[in-house]
Structure 1
């Protein structure tokens, strides 16, 4: 069975809810980065054992949260030993605005995966970009590099648009399927 780990930081709970959907789609495991930017003690071993790693972070000021960045910097030990070489990677981000410079965050996640010698899995979905499209449609924000999610600043975690949650579930499944194909 393919092992997928979704490693994420969530500032207010929105990114955690998205991570849960990605993990459900991948039949994977959640690994939270804490408020100090650290993983639980067994976290690095879980990442080393995974076939696929999905990065998740809110977008703050055009990039990942400082907690995620601390984790990324700490991954240099895995980078030096090539511990994540040839793993499948994916990534997602969430911000309050429809655009909110989420693309810049995804490129940072994709670059981190590439530095580790990873294989990036794109979203693999056409955008819902017709006049009749709504926020409940799959990929309504039109992502391609990875998963984009919008959570308005005054919205609770229960108000994330269903289309974004469905896209998250689909992306988790895609990452797991790509990893399974490469394992066989």
Structure 2
């Protein structure tokens, strides 16, 4: 099972979250995570078409996905949307911002709507909101994994609980893919 994690990260915090998602995918036997940073160059459309699932990740900027991830969404029209190469693939998403809430839900809605337009099947979290900063899903997201990062090095932020939530999302997606296969 190939699960691609396509993400944008400017300061490294969302990249750290993407790595946690990949670690979660790796917990499921037979699942392989492919990290695709949109800033690293051309998008590997063939890899995305061959994937069983695609997990989208972006920082939340001005209440929505980053400009670079939005560009990927727009660029997907010819290689993915028109031929429907992502139809019936599993999809999920994660986001990160400096504010505790910071309109992250809108970023996830943007990703979910984009996935729906491609005929994908969206997977959210099935974790009840944590009651403390140390528990998974402390921000209380259902549509996807949310994280908050302070203006510090990615080695210090996001919090361990936010990274555990991201890993859980990756594992959940891999388990859902296994059920569909």
Q: Runs of 4+ in structure 1 displaced over 3 angstroms?
A: none
Per-residue CA deviation, residues 52-95 of structure 1 (Å, 9 max, x unaligned), is: 00000000001111000000101112111000000000000000
| Residue 30 of structure 2 corresponds to residue 13 of structure 1 | no
1:168 maps to what in 2?
A: 166
> Aligned to 2:5, what secondary structure does the other structure show?
strand
Q: Indicate the residue corresponding to 1:34 in structure 2.
A: 39
| Matched positions, count | 173
**Matching residue of 2:137:** 139
Q: Does 2:62 align with 1:61?
A: yes
Residue in structure 1 matching 2:154, options 157, 160, 164: 157
TM-score (norm 1): 0.91
Distance of 1:39 and 1:71 partners within structure 2:
10
* Cα root mean square deviation, aligned: 1.1
Structure 2 match to 1:125: 127
Is 1:22 the equivalent of 2:50? no
Q: Gapped runs of 5+ residues in structure 2?
A: 27-32
Gaps of 5+ in 1: none
Give secondary structure in 1 for the equivalent of 2:109: helix
CA contact (8 A) 1:55 1:91 kept: yes
Tell me the TM-score normalised to structure 2 length. Answer: 0.93
